[in-house]
Structure 1
């Protein structure tokens, strides 16, 4: 990653400047144009004092880390500690190497006279865009400590949802891994020994036994090829998923998967409402807030729906009308947003939408966990049962053909 300094003009003609971390200059141009800035100057910037090129194997900055950072920063600022001193304290205490490293450069930028928002803007892989936008607004309004409190609550909820999702999937994954190991052991070690102990009667083996033996032979003699193919498929999928068109296609398909599609949709609506509501309550303009949410939503298809809402605002209309025509935004969410726009309390209604769909997500995760576990157990039981029957069929055949 490199750091670039830039100067731009916004739609009102105001001159803005800052720095940004990116792979190349083209990425910076794409980012600035996506925010509807007119670019006047971009130049690479030399980084002093700290190296931000952190090795990939270091842990990423997670929502939990950002929640703790925002909460501690808000607490220190409420106690009257200057922002620079706060960051130095947090840098020393931080256990995440990426965050610690980035804070070092942020401190350097602050000491050079940059604002807090412009100091953290160069590190989008550490400080999310929603944080940068809200910090910028908080600095202008003089309520940075309140903004950091809201951000802490936002990231805490994000972390809570992710942990619940992981928890719901842990048991099925454990069952699948253990069953895969058991099936592999039976096919590679047990089945050949049992078949080898049987006398040769000259009769062909039963079809199920031949099928299972074919899989067993392939696993024993071509295990290296299977591993190579699996690695190749994994790397190929990883590369393909990164392509823009493929990513959009997968995002669209993920929303149409039975049961899981509804869960994903509700999680995205919850994230949209929580992020937009938090930003509006902190004073971020509706256009900037929608732009930030659109870029950070994590789903290309839903992001297009947000873009339509943003265009509606530019035409002097509300955001509820285009969302009402959406196939993915639930009617109840759209109705609450419309009420919020009419009453002038959009930020409050968005927070209620987020709370409502957070509960829906929690309930659906609980139901899915209850449904998936028995289905997996039955499915894996059928596979194991088929293998056991395939192993026993030759014995039964011999017993029925031996003269009494």
Structure 2
């Protein structure tokens, strides 16, 4: 893909400057002309210097959901796909999405299908969304599919927020506890160290331990910082190793209290995704494969891969699930009933609603449980250091 800068005038004579990416210079010129622009300057740019670089997802979830809602409304109103993409370019607040829609518009004008046009932007349009659009093109209910996708991504966003809300508090309190501990050991404790040593009195063993830790923090703080840095790097490297990454995901699910919460979140996401795909007439093998790619836990991915293999052999998709601890009996029983009655999508939807409710209740319980525990933990850490200073001071005052 090449990048070009251009100068042009619109039909009203207004000067317009911008960038466009296209395979060739001719395609870029043709694309600009289709937008009713009178081109008088076009320069090819260095793609390495002018390519947009984004950290994380280029499009916010909120912008993406609004885009889907608007797209569905336009299609339902009888607006053509090309006209809809032009209108959406003007409406969206997301610069990456606007640029992508500009290229999608060009592809549609060339006779390329919407689903194939979207595949050129894998970071903006997930495989799940593209597969659903393709299903909508085949069935002729694209507007319904887009609305369904908007509902799906709204639920996924709410699900993610529940997880973030539940896990943020202990992480923040933990970081605060570490910062306060280091501050007390590196700044406050040394102030009293010289005072304790100036008195010819025996210092309690507990206080001596704290003073020695304080000395280590002051002298070798850079070593501790290096160890923390190497710990983060090691976790990143282990995550890239397939085997270690798998066991790290197992560990996440085995953490007391938090593991069950993460498991419920994964089950809710898996059932939501699979239900949406099957309800949109996506073939079950393809639906399971897409769901496997959507899930970001290696343990569940492995079971879904086995379920897909089971389906290819003509067996039930629940056979591998029944043998694995990550899937409760509720899910396997509901899917089995769905397979027998031909309503797997409906059964999965009921299961997803159940786990959404379970997640809500677990989130509330987790927050109510963690808050006092973390406050006690923080008080214990600070109190332990303060106590190490207070105890010898009482002894000194008694001997004065």
Match of 1:19 in 2: none
Match of 1:214 in 2: 212
Q: 2:287 aligns with which of 275, 289, 304?
A: 289
Distance of aligned partners of 1:60 and 1:231 in 2 relative to their CA distance in 1, 3 Å threshold: farther
Task: Give, in whole Å, the separation in 2 of the partners of 1:63 and 1:243.
Answer: 30
List gaps (5 residues or longer) in structure 1.
4-44
Task: Give, in whole Å, the separation in 1 of the partners of 2:267 and 2:88.
Answer: 33
Task: Give, in whole Å, the separation in 2 of the partners of 1:270 and 1:377.
Answer: 31
Match of 1:17 in 2: none
Match of 2:310 in 1: 312
Match of 2:34 in 1: none
Match of 1:95 in 2: 93
Measured after TM superposition, the shift of residue 133 of structure 1 is 0.7
* Secondary structure of 1:202 counterpart: coil
Match of 1:68 in 2: 66
* Secondary structure of 2:82 counterpart: helix
Measured after TM superposition, the shift of residue 53 of structure 1 is 4.2
Map residues 46-65 of structure 1 onto 2, 5 A cutoff: 46=23, 53-57=51-55, 60-65=58-63
Task: Give, in whole Å, the separation in 2 of the partners of 1:78 and 1:198.
Answer: 80
Task: Give, in whole Å, the separation in 2 of the partners of 1:120 and 1:273.
Answer: 25
Q: 2:185 aligns with which of 170, 184, 187?
A: 187
Across the aligned residues of Structure 1 and Structure 2, the Cα RMSD in angstroms comes to 2.5
Q: 1:105 aligns with which of 87, 91, 103?
A: 103
Distance of aligned partners of 1:53 and 1:250 in 2 relative to their CA distance in 1, 3 Å threshold: farther
Map residues 347-362 of structure 1 onto 2, 5 A cutoff: 347-362=345-360
Distance of aligned partners of 1:95 and 1:184 in 2 relative to their CA distance in 1, 3 Å threshold: farther
Contact preservation (8 Å) 1:71, 1:149: yes
Contact preservation (8 Å) 1:61, 1:98: yes
What number of residue pairs does the alignment pair up? 360
Match of 1:200 in 2: 198
Match of 1:35 in 2: none
Measured after TM superposition, the shift of residue 59 of structure 1 is 5.5
Match of 2:273 in 1: 275
Match of 1:164 in 2: 162
Task: Give, in whole Å, the separation in 1 of the partners of 2:294 and 2:251.
Answer: 19
Map residues 120-269 of structure 1 onto 2, 5 A cutoff: 120-198=118-196, 200-269=198-267
> TM-score normalised to the size of structure 1?
0.82
Task: Give, in whole Å, the separation in 1 of the partners of 2:293 and 2:284.
Answer: 14
Contact preservation (8 Å) 1:58, 1:98: no
* Secondary structure of 2:112 counterpart: coil
List gaps (5 residues or longer) in structure 2.
3-21, 29-44
> TM-score normalised to the size of structure 2?
0.82
Task: Give, in whole Å, the separation in 1 of the partners of 2:245 and 2:57.
Answer: 25
Distance of aligned partners of 1:175 and 1:72 in 2 relative to their CA distance in 1, 3 Å threshold: same
**Pair member with larger Rg:** 2
Task: Give, in whole Å, the separation in 2 of the partners of 1:306 and 1:199.
Answer: 65
Contact preservation (8 Å) 1:59, 1:97: no
Match of 1:24 in 2: none
* Secondary structure of 1:123 counterpart: coil
Task: Give, in whole Å, the separation in 2 of the partners of 1:68 and 1:145.
Answer: 14
Distance of aligned partners of 1:222 and 1:106 in 2 relative to their CA distance in 1, 3 Å threshold: farther
Distance of aligned partners of 1:81 and 1:249 in 2 relative to their CA distance in 1, 3 Å threshold: same
2:330 counterpart of 1:332: yes
Distance of aligned partners of 1:176 and 1:254 in 2 relative to their CA distance in 1, 3 Å threshold: closer
